[in-house]
Amino acid sequence: MALHWNSEIVRILHLEPAHSDGDSLVFFERANVLHTGDVFFNGDYAYIDANAGGSIDGMIAAVDRLLEMARPDTKIIPGHGPLATSDDLRAYRQMLTTVRERVQSLVKAGKTGDEVLAAKPTSDFG
């Protein structure tokens, strides 16, 4: 959906399920401001609401979509955390993919949920 508000064009896009099945982004074209909603937690771990259709793969795909829209000078408003840059968003994507790979590797090795937690696959991300 696109809205015209004074001289601003506001684009609202529904994303495939990521944090949940109700994720959207809002892009203010002239101002070059992107609001990510709960798809981006700047400086923190993602919260994925699996009970509401969210998934790690969906989160990564949504971040990829955000990165396609963001220019180096885009101001990014995360759903949680301080104002961000496209570099912050790329670092968040790297964290998501690294954690997914680590957890998948542990699961494929036959580890239980408790063993996966005990391995602390996110410990170096703060």
For every one of its 126 residues, what pLDDT tens digit does the chain have, with 9 covering 90 and above? 888 989 999 999 999 999 999 999 999 999 999 999 999 999 888 889 999 999 999 999 999 999 999 999 999 999 999 999 999 999 999 999 999 999 999 999 999 999 999 999 998 886
Hey, is 59 helix, strand or coil? helix
Q: Could you tell me if residue 53 is left (phi over 0), alpha (psi between -120 and 50 degrees) or otherwise beta?
A: left
Domain extent, residue 34, equals 2-125
Q: Output the domain CATH number for residue 40.
A: 3.60.15.10
Distance CA 1, CA 65 (A): 16
pLDDT of residue 56: 95
Distance CA 53, CA 101 (A): 20
Q: Which has the closest alpha carbon to 41: 8, 76, 69?
A: 76
pLDDT of residue 52: 95
pLDDT of residue 69: 92
Tally of structural domains, the chain: 1
Distance CA 30, CA 46 (A): 29
